[in-house]
Chains A and B, each alone.
Chain A
């Protein structure tokens, strides 16, 4: 089983719709969680960190479910500019070392 798993998609969603992604992780001791956005042929950029209480940034909402070991990203009122690949990243603590482990990404295309 992969340490961090995402549905690769693609998700093709009409403009204005709400879309949600999940990301599951295997290490119950994981402490930090992030969503990154990656545009085609570009580097990943941090979209938002994910806190236990959930957090919101404009149209984006991130949540953490420790019991079921997943994080989620909700995008409301989707825009054409939201088309990208969304990567989740988890701080995996292995042998005392902290490293970020990334999922393979979920590709989102917003359709006009």
Chain B
């Protein structure tokens, strides 16, 4: 099993550009989530999904969209990048809700918005 994979590892965008951060897992996990990590802020939940076709907002959803068309994939879209979205983005998955099961994290995407 590859676990949770994320692409790209690094990305530099200009303000206003859009892009999609990819996340995939091969563990047949129902629950997937996206976090951003900023210095002094810890991990903050952006969006999450409890299964294919079902998504919901986390703590900091503004400026991001998600979809879950398959169990395996959970892409995160930045609609119009802003410097405030400079961060490290982690995708995570777990078998159920994530509250009682181990969350497995991907290696992260380091995004810089100029």
Binding site for B on A (CB under 8 A): 4, 8, 31-32, 42-46, 87, 91, 97-105
Number of interface residues of B (CB under 8 A): 22
With A43-B108, A44-B90 as known contacts, state yes or no: A100 contacts B103, CB within 8 Å: yes
| Cβ-defined partner of B42 (8 Å) among A31, A87, A98 | A87
Q: Quick check: A46 and B102 within 8 Å, CB to CB?
A: yes
A-B contact list, 5 entries, CB within 8 Å: A8-B40, A31-B99, A31-B100, A99-B45, A105-B42
| Cβ-defined partner of B100 (8 Å) among A4, A32, A42, A104 | A32
Q: Quick check: B42 and A102 within 8 Å, CB to CB?
A: yes
Q: Report whether over half of chain B's contact residues are helix, strand or loop; otherwise say mixed.
A: loop
Q: Quick check: A98 and B99 within 8 Å, CB to CB?
A: yes
- Complex Cα distance, B68 from A107, in Å, reads 35
- Complex Cα distance, B107 from A44, in Å, reads 9
Q: Quick check: B100 and A91 within 8 Å, CB to CB?
A: yes
Q: Which residues of B, 1-56, contact A by the 8 Å Cβ criterion?
A: 35, 40-45, 48, 56
B98 at the interface (CB under 8 A from A): yes
Q: Quick check: B43 and A87 within 8 Å, CB to CB?
A: yes
Which residues of chain A have C-beta atoms less than 8 A from B97's C-beta? Answer: 98
B105 at the interface (CB under 8 A from A): yes
Q: Nearest-CB distance from A6 to chain B (Å)?
A: 8
Q: Quick check: A100 and B98 within 8 Å, CB to CB?
A: yes
Which residues of chain A have C-beta atoms less than 8 A from B56's C-beta? Answer: 97
B58 at the interface (CB under 8 A from A): yes
With A43-B90, A44-B105, A97-B56 as known contacts, state yes or no: A102 contacts B100, CB within 8 Å: no
- In the A-B complex, the 4 residue pairs with the smallest Cβ-Cβ separation, listed nearest first, are A91-B99, A104-B42, A43-B105, A98-B99
Q: Quick check: B42 and A43 within 8 Å, CB to CB?
A: no
Q: Quick check: B99 and A46 within 8 Å, CB to CB?
A: no
Q: Nearest-CB distance from A76 to chain B (Å)?
A: 24
Q: Nearest-CB distance from A7 to chain B (Å)?
A: 13
A8 nearest in chain B by CB position = B40
Q: Quick check: A104 and B41 within 8 Å, CB to CB?
A: yes
Q: Which residues of B, 35-89, contact A by the 8 Å Cβ criterion?
A: 35, 40-45, 48, 56, 58-59
